[in-house]
Amino acid sequence: MRRGSLFFDEGVRKRHYHETEKGKVTYFAVQLEINVGGEWKVVLRYDCSHRFSHVDQYDIKGNETKTALDLSFESALTFGDWDINENWLKYKEEFLKGV
């Protein structure tokens, strides 16, 4: 099991969690969170909680859009980690604007 957090900016963090068995990812979640009014809100989350890799994107009201990814758990974890690292500022701005 590996767990961690990375702060990009004040009030903006990425949380990362994954489990492996015999070198294969069996569960993962990597998400971008923003602190709004003292509460951490999920902006974007890559995970496999429904037994398939997908990304959930949220608006500031908490409405969710789920998109299935045609990727292995390993590839989805790697891509999600990269996407959040590269695009966190864009996601933050869209989230706070209500896009």
In terms of residue numbers, what domain contains 6? 2-97
- Maximum CA pair distance of the chain? 43
Q: Residue 50: what pLDDT?
A: 86
pLDDT above 70 coverage of the chain, percent: 98
Integer angstrom CA distances of residue 70 from 29, 52, 79, 80, 83? 16, 9, 12, 13, 16
pLDDT band at 2 (very low <50, low <70, confident <90, very high): confident
> Tell me: the pLDDT tens digits for 60-88?
999 999 999 999 999 999 999 999 999 99
